[in-house]
Chains A and B, each alone.
Chain A
């Protein structure tokens, strides 16, 4: 069986000032082709002003089995959020 063109993940900035956001993936032989394919596939309706591509094999993802130790501990740290603190009514600029 022939070797397949590598898979790339595509991230698009929809307009200046916003983050790049993952929009999907595609196949391309190299980075340049991946950018151009992303332009032809994912920005046909003016969805973007900037494109990032990264070969899918280079992405390391957290393991869902690790979710508890990774994310649970943040749950009870209410003191990280502004609503945790009580201030007198009517106070301004704080």
Chain B
């Protein structure tokens, strides 16, 4: 079941962050960026779909991607606290994306290396999903990096908004890099990556972007955690009540 849990975590991060970004649709700071955020949202939700479908397949309990996506209880979602944080202003949104992409891209790349040469069908499927996803996330990382720099080094107002965003979101950056039993088991099964090993690269990248953006890492670097184990922030329940509304109100219907 480790593989299942491991995939679900990846998928949950994508779904929940994709959900948050989709809230921007129709409300972006200008049309071009409205569309850019929707593209990222579509990439992430697309990744989550492929991953849920794979998880459903290996679980072989006859559940569908939608059963997994919509019908679990709050504590069964294993996404990071970071991705469920509200959109806030555009500064929050681009920073959240930068933090997440700085973790997700090296994770996917490291997983791809581990999956090389593994011939079991579900590993081959996962490799296909990740190969496509790496290209998408490369773009997300670039888009969010450029905006963090632009806003950090833009006007006095945009700089101060970026500083606020850093102060509010940095505490959620670190959870991604703390391993737990699921990670350990996935590592021992050969496809998993110890997230601590990704941290140096991500830290260095964030440092570099922050330097260009005239931003500083906060002094207090205590990291919130819990999402990976299903202990979420208070925002999560509201998010799920929207996400699950139709499936809960009309059980067992086809859409």
Contact between chain A and chain B defined by CB under 8 Å: yes
Instruction: Tell me whether B167 is interfacial, beta carbon within 8 Å.
Output: no
Residues of A within 8 A of B150 (CB): 29
**In the docked arrangement, what's the CA distance between A44 and B32, Å?**
13
Q: In the bound complex, do residue A44 and residue B39 qualify as a contact, i.e. CB atoms below 8 Å apart?
A: yes
Q: How many residues of A contact B (CB 8 A)?
A: 12
Residues of B contacting A: mostly:
helix
B217–chain A nearest beta-carbon distance, Å: 26
A21–chain B nearest beta-carbon distance, Å: 20
Contact count band on B: 10 to 19
Instruction: Tell me whether B90 is interfacial, beta carbon within 8 Å.
Output: no
Residues of B within 8 A of A32 (CB): 146
What are the interface flags for B223-248 relative to A under an 8 Å C-beta threshold, 1 for contact and 0 otherwise?
00000000000000000000000000
Instruction: Tell me whether B178 is interfacial, beta carbon within 8 Å.
Output: no
Q: In the bound complex, do residue A27 and residue B146 qualify as a contact, i.e. CB atoms below 8 Å apart?
A: no
Q: In the bound complex, do residue A5 and residue B146 qualify as a contact, i.e. CB atoms below 8 Å apart?
A: no
Q: In the bound complex, do residue B32 and residue A40 qualify as a contact, i.e. CB atoms below 8 Å apart?
A: yes
Q: In the bound complex, do residue A26 and residue B32 qualify as a contact, i.e. CB atoms below 8 Å apart?
A: yes
Residues of B within 8 A of A27 (CB): 30-32
Residues of A within 8 A of B123 (CB): none
**In the docked arrangement, what's the CA distance between A73 and B80, Å?**
70
Instruction: Tell me whether A54 is interfacial, beta carbon within 8 Å.
Output: no
Which B residues are closer than 8 A to A by beta carbons?
Answer: 30-33, 35-36, 39, 143, 146, 150
Given contacts A28-B32, A36-B36, A41-B35, 14 further A-B contacts (CB under 8 A): A5-B30, A27-B30, A27-B31, A27-B32, A32-B146, A36-B143, A36-B146, A37-B33, A37-B35, A37-B36, A40-B32, A40-B35, A41-B32, A44-B35
- 17 A-B pairs within 8 Å (CB atoms) are namely A5-B30, A26-B32, A27-B30, A27-B31, A28-B32, A29-B150, A32-B146, A33-B146, A36-B143, A36-B146, A37-B33, A37-B36, A40-B32, A40-B35, A40-B36, A40-B39, A41-B35
